[in-house]
Structure 1
Amino acid sequence: MGMELTFNLTQEQRLVLTQQMQLSIKLLQMSNIDLVSYIEKEYMENPVLESQPNVGDGEVKLQDRYDYKEMIKYFESDNYGSQSYGNYDEEEVSPFTFISSKKTLKDYLHEQVLELNEDEYINCICDYIIENLDSRGYLDISLQDLCRELNISTEMGQKALEIIQKFEPYGIGARDLNECLIIQLNVKGILNEHLQMIVDEHLGDLAENKYVNIAKKLNITPQKAQEYGDIIKSLEPKPSRGFYTGDEVKFIIPDAEIRKIDGQYFIIMNEGVLPKLSINPLYKQIINEGADKCAQSYVKEKMGSALFLIKSIEQRKNTIYRVLEKILDKQLEYFDKGESYLKPMTLKEIAEELDVHESTVSRAIREKYILTSRGTVKIKDLFTMGIQSNENDEDIAVINIKKTIKQLIDSEDKKKPFSDQVICDELNKLKMNISRRTVAKYREEMGIKSSSKRKRF
């Protein structure tokens, strides 16, 4: 009986998100306040870390910097760059692990991922999407960008997102309010053509209880329109409500200051708020002596984790600084002369100039503030879409169009307030190429009522 050898080639799809990649993304989108809390937690749980008040550069840190670079080389050569530092033996668990803390939305969602009957690959994508949800529970970064970052197909990313959108609380993972409401109606099993149309086209009418308008458009009775309205108003527009998101923090710590000195602008990173992290020399000595192998292995693990944290914090600072450099370059007139000189600027433009993903810029400015001569400014507010002017094809910042709309409404005769069409005509006279529908959209975004509701008798 002969023996036959055969070779079978199989293709296995795997997604590996390194500890460093996860940590880098997590820290980049943190505000300064959240980062301080995270550093404090890591400091309490990792005995290798030393924390000092932030002091000026000078004689104190030169030797530590030299050791730091040498240790990075040491760990990279010993393959510690690929280790995971999330698993500890029972003896190594910090007592701080058992201190009760508020449950976050992301914690709750990650728990649901663990209960999925899916393979590790899909679970990993789901976890990654969860980490990119904003404080409302919405996915405010495009799915295409996430798929490019993970080097996966759009179909695979869509599958993972659809799984998350079935999680509780319902509405999670939506890209906007409309999708959030549709997800909830779907889950309840009551979505029909009329409810779909109201959510897609008539939320403005619904907010103002204009059930007669809705009834006419949908060819139903006002009573039925009101019944549908009651259903939609019972839904949750902010799925994260009830979970801890950090929104309770009412004060702001700017990440940087943009200051003019001798006619030139400088970006000064606010490093004083963060403790300076370094490696405790005692543990360096344990590694150098190499006496107790068990202790040496433990210290190597903790040191690798500490170095990852230090490097990631530095990378976060550098990314924010580079983004601010580009913003300063583009918005020089704004910092010089004020809000009316704010130019159109998008995340995509900054991302292309820095040769990074648009999502990286989005994370770098999320919940970040800068201190300027005009006060504390949210970085995200400096990004505005442009509308083209008829006259010279220059773009006009949306913020300036909104300002003009408000000025027109403030100056109107309240007995005969301007309609959106009249405002549109006035803006076009000022060479602002804008439609009546866009006027209505900007007016609503500013919380200004329609002309019929502004009228005074």
Structure 2
Amino acid sequence: MSLVQLKTELRQELKLTPQLMQSMEVLQMTSQELLEYLSRQAEENPLLDQSDPPERAYEELRRQAGWIDGGVRDRATFTHEEGAPEAGAMDSALESLAAFLRDQIHRLRLPKPLTALCEYLAELVDGDGYLAQEDLDGLAAMKIPQALTDQALDTLQSLDPPGVGARSLSECLLLQLSRRDGADPVAMDVAARFLPELGRKHYAAIAQKLGITVEAVRRAEAVVASLEPHPGRAFQPAEPTVYVRPDVFVAELDGELKVILNEYYLPRVSVNDYYLRLLKSSDEKETKDYLRQKLRQAKWLLDSLDRRGSTLRRCAEAALEAQRPFFSGQTGDLAPMTLSSLAEGLALHPSTVSRAVRGKYLQCRQGTYPLRYFFSLPVSGGVSRQAAKQALLALVREEDRKRPYSDQDLSRLLADRGILLARRTVTKYRLELGLGSSAARKK
């Protein structure tokens, strides 16, 4: 019996060709990534020519829409060279918290073993100024006497900034309070034993356990609030400034809202005529093969750029159509719109729409927003999630601070406005908006 069989099978397969992969890659690039990508491609492919975009078109747009940021065309604003420190920036190696602590340790002129251990602990202090208990436990495994460890820890915690070397928030606050003249014993008790209750504003419970008045607890809270919970914060390097370049503008031109792609910062990419003539006239096979390959790559890139611009424009135009009342200034609320519904309307795959809006920004008269901001899921009542959050925020701002609304009250009031949200959903949205509970909001 033969085990070899012949059969016919019909099936569909999707293969990712190099052209498709490049198109997908270019589609999801941010403006800065695309600018760097074009620069690399121009260096690798001699058939690609780059020329500066015309300035007149951008200036004409700015004349008609004066709110457009004047720094959009400044390329230097958006470039960053790795390893090149910004002028006037702090040298982290010389001005770090560990270096500051080591300098104080050297001035104390301690015995060598104690100095060495203090310097070692200074290196273990994290960016907030704390020591992990696990690191101290590791010293015992290194056969370091406990008495020497305790002495080094006391020395470290006596240094500036106050609170450095603490192993917990409570210890950090107590270290700072102990350095104050006439330290408040109530504040020290609260910092040592009742920080969780203080965070939940359970003043009556704290007052009952300490045998004091609620007013005394509130005074202690004010003292604790004046302390620094992150003593190493001043030594943390400032985060680099992140600049946002809008990919799309929505502006009113000639009395009509229109979508304008922000391609004014991109160089004009074209195929070099000299190499095209060389491809036709050259008799060398290797030269012709090389130029044909580079020509194909150049055409793939130009096609990918066209597809990116077309897809991004269609997505932005669909967002404009769905959110026209917002862009025209009639309301600050968004209409419900999802990626899947937009993809269906544009006859695109949802993943294509997701790639197109990833990391992209839209600038309009109201401000600059991530393009994804305009895709707000619907909630019960036919409004968007963004509109529900705005209504919730308005209720909290208008409430009586002496009798703030509970989450159940907020759910009922939103229902009166036609927005049906369960209490747990109200709690979720409240936390996302950075709003405290009714007890935390009470004055």
Tell me the amino acid that sits aligned with residue 291 of structure 2: V
1:428 aligns with 415
Provide the rounded CA distance (Å) in 2 between the counterparts of 1:316 and 1:299: 26
Tell me the amino acid that sits aligned with residue 446 of structure 1: L
Provide the rounded CA distance (Å) in 2 between the counterparts of 1:14 and 1:343: 38
2:367 aligns with 375
What is the CA-CA distance between 1:428 and the residue it aligns to? 0.9
The structure 2 residue matched to 1:273, chosen from 265, 277, 290, is 265
Provide the rounded CA distance (Å) in 1 between the counterparts of 2:425 and 2:38: 45
State the secondary structure of the residue aligned to 2:342.
helix
Residue 416 of structure 2 is aligned to residue 440 of structure 1: no
Tell me the amino acid that sits aligned with residue 36 of structure 1: L
TM-score (norm 1): 0.54
Query: 1:217-232, aligned counterparts within 5 Å?
Result: none
Tell me the amino acid that sits aligned with residue 303 of structure 1: L
What is the CA-CA distance between 1:294 and the residue it aligns to? 0.5
Tell me the amino acid that sits aligned with residue 411 of structure 1: E
Tell me the amino acid that sits aligned with residue 337 of structure 1: G
Provide the rounded CA distance (Å) in 1 between the counterparts of 2:279 and 2:434: 62
What is the CA-CA distance between 1:340 and the residue it aligns to? 2.6
What is the CA-CA distance between 1:387 and the residue it aligns to? 2.1
Provide the rounded CA distance (Å) in 2 between the counterparts of 1:13 and 1:266: 40
Provide the rounded CA distance (Å) in 2 between the counterparts of 1:365 and 1:209: 42
2:324 aligns with 332
Residue 386 of structure 2 is aligned to residue 399 of structure 1: yes
Query: 1:31-50, aligned counterparts within 5 Å?
Result: 31-50=30-49
Provide the rounded CA distance (Å) in 2 between the counterparts of 1:249 and 1:43: 28
State the secondary structure of the residue aligned to 2:246.
coil
What is the CA-CA distance between 1:316 and the residue it aligns to? 0.1
Provide the rounded CA distance (Å) in 1 between the counterparts of 2:56 and 2:399: 58
Aligned Cα root-mean-square deviation (Å)? 3.1
**Residues 262 and 50 from structure 1, CA distance in 2 versus in 1: closer, same or farther, beyond 3 angstroms?**
closer
TM-score (norm 2): 0.55
Provide the rounded CA distance (Å) in 2 between the counterparts of 1:418 and 1:318: 48
Provide the rounded CA distance (Å) in 2 between the counterparts of 1:53 and 1:333: 37
State the secondary structure of the residue aligned to 1:27.
helix
Provide the rounded CA distance (Å) in 2 between the counterparts of 1:253 and 1:311: 23
CA shift digits 1:107-132 (9 cap, x unpaired) = xxxxxxxxxxxxxxxxxxxxxxxxxx
Query: 1:97-116, aligned counterparts within 5 Å?
Result: none
Residue 17 of structure 2 is aligned to residue 18 of structure 1: yes
**Residues 416 and 57 from structure 1, CA distance in 2 versus in 1: closer, same or farther, beyond 3 angstroms?**
closer
**Residues 436 and 36 from structure 1, CA distance in 2 versus in 1: closer, same or farther, beyond 3 angstroms?**
same
Tell me the amino acid that sits aligned with residue 254 of structure 1: P
What is the CA-CA distance between 1:360 and the residue it aligns to? 1.0
Tell me the amino acid that sits aligned with residue 364 of structure 2: T
What is the CA-CA distance between 1:29 and the residue it aligns to? 1.0
Gaps of 5+ in 1: 59-99, 103-207, 211-246, 390-394
Provide the rounded CA distance (Å) in 2 between the counterparts of 1:249 and 1:313: 28
What is the CA-CA distance between 1:297 and the residue it aligns to? 0.5
17-26 vs 411-420, greater mean Cα deviation: 411-420
State the secondary structure of the residue aligned to 1:300.
helix
Query: 1:47-196, aligned counterparts within 5 Å?
Result: 47-55=46-54
State the secondary structure of the residue aligned to 1:277.
strand
What is the CA-CA distance between 1:358 and the residue it aligns to? 0.9
Count of residues paired in the alignment: 267
What is the CA-CA distance between 1:48 and the residue it aligns to? 1.4
**Residues 446 and 26 from structure 1, CA distance in 2 versus in 1: closer, same or farther, beyond 3 angstroms?**
same
The structure 2 residue matched to 1:348, chosen from 317, 340, 355, is 340
What is the CA-CA distance between 1:336 and the residue it aligns to? 0.9
State the secondary structure of the residue aligned to 1:345.
coil
1:244 aligns with none
What is the CA-CA distance between 1:412 and the residue it aligns to? 2.4
Contact between 2:246 and 2:368, CA under 8 Å: does it hold in 1? yes
Provide the rounded CA distance (Å) in 2 between the counterparts of 1:429 and 1:57: 53
What is the CA-CA distance between 1:23 and the residue it aligns to? 1.0
State the secondary structure of the residue aligned to 1:371.
strand
What is the CA-CA distance between 1:282 and the residue it aligns to? 1.7
Provide the rounded CA distance (Å) in 2 between the counterparts of 1:249 and 1:14: 45
2:312 aligns with 320
**Residues 375 and 55 from structure 1, CA distance in 2 versus in 1: closer, same or farther, beyond 3 angstroms?**
same
**Residues 209 and 43 from structure 1, CA distance in 2 versus in 1: closer, same or farther, beyond 3 angstroms?**
farther
Provide the rounded CA distance (Å) in 2 between the counterparts of 1:291 and 1:304: 19
Gaps of 5+ in 2: 58-80, 84-194, 198-238
**Residues 322 and 339 from structure 1, CA distance in 2 versus in 1: closer, same or farther, beyond 3 angstroms?**
same
The structure 2 residue matched to 1:410, chosen from 393, 397, 410, is 397
Tell me the amino acid that sits aligned with residue 438 of structure 2: S
Provide the rounded CA distance (Å) in 2 between the counterparts of 1:248 and 1:367: 18
1:283 aligns with 275
What is the CA-CA distance between 1:101 and the residue it aligns to? 7.7
State the secondary structure of the residue aligned to 2:264.
helix
Provide the rounded CA distance (Å) in 2 between the counterparts of 1:439 and 1:310: 48
Identity value in percent: 32
Provide the rounded CA distance (Å) in 1 between the counterparts of 2:82 and 2:354: 28
Contact between 2:325 and 2:331, CA under 8 Å: does it hold in 1? no
Provide the rounded CA distance (Å) in 1 between the counterparts of 2:13 and 2:319: 38
Contact between 2:26 and 2:34, CA under 8 Å: does it hold in 1? yes
Residue 22 of structure 2 is aligned to residue 30 of structure 1: no
**Residues 425 and 6 from structure 1, CA distance in 2 versus in 1: closer, same or farther, beyond 3 angstroms?**
closer
State the secondary structure of the residue aligned to 2:379.
strand
Provide the rounded CA distance (Å) in 2 between the counterparts of 1:18 and 1:8: 29
Provide the rounded CA distance (Å) in 2 between the counterparts of 1:57 and 1:415: 58
Provide the rounded CA distance (Å) in 2 between the counterparts of 1:339 and 1:22: 41
What is the CA-CA distance between 1:16 and the residue it aligns to? 3.1
Tell me the amino acid that sits aligned with residue 49 of structure 2: E
Provide the rounded CA distance (Å) in 1 between the counterparts of 2:348 and 2:278: 40
Provide the rounded CA distance (Å) in 1 between the counterparts of 2:12 and 2:356: 30
